[in-house]
């Protein structure tokens, strides 16, 4: 008789343990924010020296001009544009336009425009051969520059969406060059030597030349 009573009160009641743990769990669930370190990267030009000549004259055809006014309206290559997503294809065509490719070696890897052309896959070459090569557009990827000029009154929102499109265009070029989609190219892990080699191969000779021009303070 007494024995059976003992048996019943032997264990600690652990039924509420789950509730306590749940409470803690919910607290951490609510306060957690998994840190995001993602964004659009940009390399600013070096500091301007006082006595250095500021203007380096670029050939007009090598500049792809995007201007935003204070009402967030776009002027792309001197023509108004409403649909931001068109910029992606325009920039793609602009950078890959081998209008007048040179043999001049450029950059730290010493790659000329003709070397870049030779390294492209056949599908890209035939696309360029059929649709591009206009002498009014960029000479080659080595000299193509995208100039983005935003008025002081334009919104950050539209600036980011344009920067996003520009990066999309470049990532597509880089990706296609090594046989990846733009998304796969973006996800390349540069700590892995094999993927790093692929990344470097995709980027050599095609600099991502996005220039954020100083806005004018008057007009808009």
Partner 1 sequence: MSKFKKKSESSQDIPTAALPDIIFMLLFFFMVTTVLRETELKVEQNIPRAEQLVKLEKKKLVTYLYVGAPKDESLGSESRIQANDAFIGIEGIVQWVNQEKSKLSEVERDQITISLKVDEETKMGIIVDIQTELREANARKIMYAAPTKARDN
How far from 23 is each of 13, 33, 39, 213, CA to CA, in Å? 18, 18, 34, 53
The Cα angle at residue 103 between residues 178 and 119, in degrees rounded to 5: 15
Sheet with 79-81, side-by-side order of all strands? 79-81, 74-76, 63-68, 145-150, 210-213
Binder of partner 1 out of 125, 164, 199, 204 (CB under 8 A): 164
Say whether residue 9 binds partner 1 (CB under 8 A): no
Binder of partner 1 out of 12, 24, 56, 218 (CB under 8 A): 24
Distance, in Å, from the CA atom of 19 to the CA atom of 198, rounded to the nearest integer, reads: 51
For residue 165 the two structure tokens come to: 């499109």
Residues 88-147 within binding reach of partner 1 (CB under 8 A) = none
Say whether residue 54 binds partner 1 (CB under 8 A): no
Give the three-state DSSP class for 131.
Answer: helix
Element (H, E) at 171: helix 156-177
70 vs 114, which CB is nearer to partner 1? 70
Identify any residues that bridge with 63 across adjacent strands, giving them in sequence order: 145
144 vs 210, which CB is nearer to partner 1? 210
Shortest distance, CB of residue 185 to partner 1, whole angstroms? Answer: 10
59 vs 160, which CB is nearer to partner 1? 160
Tally of CB atoms within 10 A around 120: 19
Distance, in Å, from the CA atom of 148 to the CA atom of 169, rounded to the nearest integer, reads: 14
Residues 167-206 within binding reach of partner 1 (CB under 8 A) = 167-168, 171, 182, 186, 190-191
Shortest distance, CB of residue 179 to partner 1, whole angstroms? Answer: 19
Say whether residue 219 binds partner 1 (CB under 8 A): no
Interface with partner 1 (CB under 8 A): 14-15, 17-18, 21-22, 24-25, 28-29, 31-48, 68, 150-157, 159-161, 163-164, 167-168, 171, 182, 186, 190-191, 212, 214-215
């Amino acid at each position: 008789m007494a024995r059976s009573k003992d048996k019943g009160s032997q264990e600690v009641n652990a039924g509420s343990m789950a509730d306590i743990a749940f409470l803690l769990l919910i607290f951490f669930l609510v306060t957690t924010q998994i840190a995001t370190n993602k964004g659009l990267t940009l390399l600013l030009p070096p500091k301007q020296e006082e006595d250095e000549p500021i203007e380096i004259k670029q050939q007009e055809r090598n500049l792809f001009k995007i201007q935003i006014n204070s009402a967030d309206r776009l002027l792309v290559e001197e023509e108004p544009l409403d649909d931001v997503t068109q910029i992606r294809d325009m920039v793609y065509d602009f950078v890959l336009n081998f209008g007048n490719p040179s043999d001049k070696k450029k950059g730290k890897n010493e790659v000329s425009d003709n070397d870049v052309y030779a390294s492209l896959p056949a599908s890209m070459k035939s696309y360029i051969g059929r649709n591009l090569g206009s002498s009014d557009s960029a000479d080659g990827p080595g000299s193509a520059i995208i100039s983005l000029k935003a008025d002081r009154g334009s919104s950050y929102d539209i600036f980011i969406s344009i920067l996003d499109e520009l990066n999309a265009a470049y990532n597509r070029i880089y990706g296609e060059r090594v046989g990846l989609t733009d998304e796969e190219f973006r996800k390349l892990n540069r700590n892995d030597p094999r993927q790093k080699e692929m990344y470097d191969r995709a980027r050599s000779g095609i600099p991502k030349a996005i220039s954020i021009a100083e806005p004018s303070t008057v007009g808009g």
